[in-house]
Structure 1
Amino acid sequence: MQILKVTLKQHTPLIHFQYSEEGATLRASEVKPRLDKFLIARLRKRHSDWLSKWKKGETEALNYKLRIQTDEADKLRVKIPSSRNRDGKFEAQFPMVLANMDGKEREEDLKNFSCYKKVTLIFIAEDQALLDQIDTYIDSFLAVTNFGNRQSKGFGSFFRDGKRKSDFEKALFMFYDCVYCKTFSFDLRDYESVKKAFRSLDLAYKRIKSGVGREDSLLHIYGKEHGIEWEKEAIRNKLAGRDVPHKARYLRAILGTTNSVSLPEIHKIITIQSELNSNNGEEIVQRFRSPITFKFFDGTVYALPEDGVKDIMGKKFTFTLKEENSKTGLGSMDLTVPQIDFYNFLEEAFDNLGWTYKELK
């Protein structure tokens, strides 16, 4: 058997459900299927003759084993502080971390951080040529992939140890001609500095999607400039018994869908359901997560747009208004997701935020 070892540097905390256990870090059950999918997509184009040899039968898995190794001496004792809320449940609050919001009966059921200075991936295969391909593509895979909970928000960022920023950006070049980036300097060993960085990122993302305080959302501003009113205005009109604006669309779906919206100040809740497939009765859109992934390398965060936004455009969703804690309906309305130039919107949004436009060469 042949062995390839790749040592990774951890750049941001990994949100882990077993954070307190020894060796709780990246899981082979998450890394390998995603790496296999990434590799197969590339090998199919360049080494299709070898691919059948490297795959496990008719499956979409490659014929190697992956072990993940850590040294407890490298573990960083960075943890979200927990406390009890008014209901006596345990909470651990941190910017952009949603898993603990409702509280847990037991403190050990909270999700928390797993941080190591270094993590080693150990690949084991019979064919050295397969390991050579893994070694070739692993940097590109890691450059656009985060792991664990809330990965699109920058958590769980790793890259090969010993690499420079220029190496990371070279790996990004496989996918992007240009990106937006910003410096959020922090020390992974220092909880408060990590929290400050993610608070800043959280604020930037809220300015894009929902707005902050009386400051309007950059997405809403973009919509209005292009003759689109967003769903919030439609909801206000529906609750007030007024007609829904004919230009109203489910605009925020461009940056990810949700199943419901709570309006606690007026004791209302809004459920949001995609139109149904006529063949099986299931929702056409099961879930659409944010098409922007934030990737950290040292103190720089990169905003990486993902494909698939066009798939959500034009889809219809039903908004049903209800009394809070009741099944009583207060009416419903259908809104479609608008057609917009997604990349033009990102350009305007990140320019407004003062992020750096960077061409990758």
Structure 2
Amino acid sequence: MNTLKITLKQHTPLIHFQHDQEGATLRASEVKPKLDKFILTNLEVGNYKNKKELVPKNWLIGKGEKESHALNYRMKIVAEGKNEEYFITSFFSLKQKEQLNNLPDDVKTLLTTPYFAQEKEKNRILKRKNNWNDWTDGNGPSKKGLLCPKSIRIDIYSIIEDDSFMKLLAEKVQAFFLSQNFGTRQSKGFGCFEVVNILLKINEKEIGIPLLDKEMLLKEMFDFVYKKKLDSKDLGLIFNQISQDYQLLKSGRRKPYAKSKLMLYGLNQLKVRWEKRFIKKCVNNVYATEEEGKYYKLKSTHETPFTTDEKYIYLRSMLGLAQQFEFLLENPPQEDQKNKMIVKLGAISSEIERYRSPLLFKVYDENIYIVGNSVSSELLHQGFKLYVSIQEDQEWEHEEVEKRVIYTPTRFDLVAFMQFAMEDKTNSAKLDYDTIKGGKNK
């Protein structure tokens, strides 16, 4: 039996839903399908859909008789030593920070990150010290960040007699882990691993596979590669930086204030306005309050009506579909300023539901990389309807905005946008990444 032994270094926490299991780490059920697709996609001939017709039948489970593209090998993943556990959130109030001592002493915290899913769990988790590991009442976190400070070993076993199969795996596995992150919120840098050793055993003979330069491989796989070197390997600082940079690229920053690079690109290069202005015009002063003759009014909005010389597009979708837009109201229900108007955009096509950001953040020690390729053609020129809800007013809940549809761009050059974003200095807001590949440095 031929074997491939791969040693990994984990650079960032893996947000894991099975964190309560002993030895929880990378799951073979996530890694193997991704690796299979990577191997088949990177064969020199054909495309992924017909790759199973181009490889030897014994490479595939079921010898190609099944619809699956699964390759015929087994994978085992083992983490050495005890995992470090992380409490991860996007924001902490001063009061919540004072409660952090209620967590177990060995739990680490990442307080300002691009991970928003557990905001409602924060208060419950901080109430009691034993909540962190108490599953009897369901008050523990649904997901934890796990980081193995020692090495992680992946063993791959194959009974395929063709030696070229395992040699191909050994050749591609380093690039594979450079091209992917794992677990929840993986596009924002979580679940980043690096191959540090490869040992191939064929016919009882062990062969050490030399590792290639990381940046050379990144340049081969992606249309653009940008790098920022920080002064520290502290993960709190790193994920705060990723959060700040992604906000500046997509939605803009509040503190310090800076306009979205994507919005500016639309205005200056594409000569279009983005969806936020369109949405505000559609929903302001439209939905009746409980007071007769009064309508909900947005706190900050443009008073100018729609004009034929302005073109609006759903531009933010090019960096990943936004789940919802939230707007403060001048006259919120129950006079509670926490109550907002929430607008969700729903695709007219049932095939467009979720679209992950085409930008991938990679973290290696104190270095942050942003890499990516083109925007999926499936997302271009797609129509989206608007649905309005007003918190604490049940009359307006998921109400469709009639006769208002906004479309994604018909074309979008992600490489050109990233070059613009890296060079733009509006509001004195610079991203400060070095260009490894992309734009003028191709």
TM bucket normalised to smaller: 0.7 to 0.9
Q: Superposition RMSD on alpha carbons, in Å?
A: 3.0
The one-letter code of the counterpart of 2:261 is L
Q: Distance in 1 between matches of 2:320 and 2:261?
A: 15
SS at 2:86 equivalent: coil
Query: Residue 6 of structure 1 corresponds to which residue in structure 2?
Result: 6
The one-letter code of the counterpart of 2:114 is M
Query: Residue 159 of structure 1 corresponds to which residue in structure 2?
Result: 194
The one-letter code of the counterpart of 2:247 is K
Report 1:73-152 matches (<5 A).
75-80=82-87, 93-103=111-121, 106-116=138-148, 117-127=150-160, 128-152=163-187
Report 1:161-310 matches (<5 A).
161=196, 167-176=213-222, 178-187=224-233, 193-213=234-254, 214-225=257-268, 226-241=270-285, 243-245=305-307, 246-265=310-329, 266=332, 267-276=340-349, 283-310=350-377
* Residues 1:327 and 1:344: Cα distance change in structure 2 (over 3 Å): farther
Say whether the 8 Å CA contact 1:294–1:301 is kept in structure 2.
yes
Q: Distance in 2 between matches of 1:165 and 1:98?
A: 36
Q: Distance in 2 between matches of 1:137 and 1:119?
A: 18
The one-letter code of the counterpart of 2:346 is Q
Q: What TM-score, normalized by structure 1, do the two folds share? A: 0.85
Say whether the 8 Å CA contact 1:323–1:330 is kept in structure 2.
no
Q: Distance in 2 between matches of 1:169 and 1:44?
A: 22
* 1:236 Cα offset (Å): 2.0
**What are the ranges of 5 or more consecutive residues in structure 2 without an aligned counterpart?**
97-101, 104-108, 125-137, 199-209, 286-303, 333-339, 425-430
**What are the ranges of 5 or more consecutive residues in structure 1 without an aligned counterpart?**
188-192, 277-282
Match of 1:314 among 375, 381, 384: 381
Q: Distance in 2 between matches of 1:138 and 1:238?
A: 50
* 1:107 Cα offset (Å): 4.2
Match of 1:356 among 400, 412, 434: 434
Q: Distance in 2 between matches of 1:19 and 1:351?
A: 41
The one-letter code of the counterpart of 2:417 is F
- What is the number of residues matched between the two proteins? 345
Deviations 1:43-80 (A, max 9, x none): 372997643220012321011000001222xx353422
Q: Distance in 1 between matches of 2:88 and 2:33?
A: 33
* Residues 1:50 and 1:216: Cα distance change in structure 2 (over 3 Å): closer
Task: Name the stretch that deviates more: 249-258 or 51-60.
Answer: 51-60
* Residues 1:186 and 1:124: Cα distance change in structure 2 (over 3 Å): farther
* 1:94 Cα offset (Å): 4.4
The one-letter code of the counterpart of 2:86 is K
The one-letter code of the counterpart of 1:273 is G
* Residues 1:355 and 1:221: Cα distance change in structure 2 (over 3 Å): same
The one-letter code of the counterpart of 1:202 is S
SS at 1:161 equivalent: strand
Q: Distance in 2 between matches of 1:205 and 1:305?
A: 14
Say whether the 8 Å CA contact 1:43–1:51 is kept in structure 2.
no
Q: Distance in 1 between matches of 2:170 and 2:278?
A: 52
| Identity over aligned pairs, percent | 28
* 1:129 Cα offset (Å): 3.0
Deviations 1:236-271 (A, max 9, x none): 222335644541111111111134323354531112
* Residues 1:175 and 1:182: Cα distance change in structure 2 (over 3 Å): same
Structure showing greater Rg: 2
Which consecutive segments of 4 or more residues in structure 1 shift more than 4 A? Answer: 46-50, 81-85, 90-94, 162-166
Deviations 1:208-258 (A, max 9, x none): 111112421111111111211111111222233564454111111111113
Say whether the 8 Å CA contact 1:258–1:287 is kept in structure 2.
no
Query: Residue 45 of structure 1 corresponds to which residue in structure 2?
Result: 45
Q: Distance in 2 between matches of 1:209 and 1:7?
A: 36
Query: Residue 69 of structure 2 corresponds to which residue in structure 1?
Result: 60
Query: Residue 295 of structure 2 corresponds to which residue in structure 1?
Result: none
Q: Distance in 1 between matches of 2:13 and 2:39?
A: 25
Query: Residue 202 of structure 2 corresponds to which residue in structure 1?
Result: none
